[in-house]
Amino acid sequence: MNKKEEAELINSVEAGEWSSVADLTSMKERLMKAASETALKDYRINVRISKRDVEALKTKALEEGIPCQTLVTSILHKYVTGRIIEKKEKTSA
């Protein structure tokens, strides 16, 4: 986390944007279960992708501080679970 992100986090806490979880134990259990199910990687695929896209993915992964494969897996998971939605292009009338 860089200094800017740290300052934003501190400001959001001080602004009261965070609240305690009512049942912390239950929440921890739910999140740990979800994490273990998400982390299970039991299938391998091979995909051909342009060099330009690979370089862009590597750059994004470096910015996020995570391995490129982890970034790609995360993006795919978010897409198939509906957390990333395709942006519709506007058509001119």
Angle at Cα 38 formed by Cα 20 and Cα 76, nearest 5°?
110
pTM confidence score: 0.52
Domain extent, residue 61, equals: 44-82
What is the CATH classification number for the domain harbouring 78?
Answer: 1.10.1220
pLDDT tens, position by position, 26-73: 989 888 887 777 667 778 899 999 999 999 999 999 999 999 998 998
Mean pLDDT value across residues 7-35: 89
90 belongs to a structural domain? no
> How far is the C-alpha of 33 from the C-alpha of 25, rounded, in Å?
12
50 belongs to a structural domain? yes
Work out how many domains the chain is built from and give that number.
1
Q: Give the Cβ contact number of residue 66 at 10 Å.
A: 13
5 belongs to a structural domain? no
71 belongs to a structural domain? yes
78 belongs to a structural domain? yes
Q: Judge whether 58 and 48 are in contact, CB under 8 Å.
A: no
> How far is the C-alpha of 61 from the C-alpha of 19, rounded, in Å?
30
How many residues are given for the chain?
93
66 belongs to a structural domain? yes
51 belongs to a structural domain? yes
60 belongs to a structural domain? yes
